[in-house]
Amino acid sequence: MRPEVFEKDNDANYHIDLIYSMANVRSSCYVLEPMDWLTVKLKAGRIVPAMATTTSSIAGLQALELVKVLKGCKKDEFRNIFLNLAVPLMQAGEPGDVTKTKLLEGVEVSLWDRWEVRGSSKTLTLQSMIKKIEQQYKGLEVRDVMKGNLPIFFHSMM
């Protein structure tokens, strides 16, 4: 195996032929006008360098934020960046706080929270787990139970 360098001007490598066929498959799927081979070749010459520039810019910005994570920086030192290379424009702002919803006194959750229930799968039944949670958090009702990304219980379907 070896890496293949994209070269739009060498017709013998069939790079533009592949892009041409994939673009027209996509156009038929989305009911778009198909493109002729020369139009694809001209657009590929502009798009590939633009993608490389954008990808490297984003990778560099992500690396900067990763260094901040590794250094243990405070939240106000991180940046959320909007980048538009066509204009060119780069705007950096501080990330906002995540919205939290108060469920009970002393219990707040966000979109990113999850509750993990630990116990032996041989002794813990779904019914006993739901009962235990509803007793511990009086006033709450278990709605959905997932194991990883697999649904085990959906309240709306029961």
* pLDDT tens by residue, 94-143: 988 889 999 888 889 998 888 777 766 677 888 888 888 888 888 888 88
Read off the pTM. Answer: 0.46
Rounded distance, CA 9 to CA 41, Å? 8
Cis ω on the peptide bond leading into residue 49 (within 30° of 0)?
no
* pLDDT tens by residue, 44-81: 877 767 777 888 899 999 999 999 999 999 999 999 99
Residue 107 bridge partners (DSSP): 104
Residue 84 bridge partners (DSSP): 89
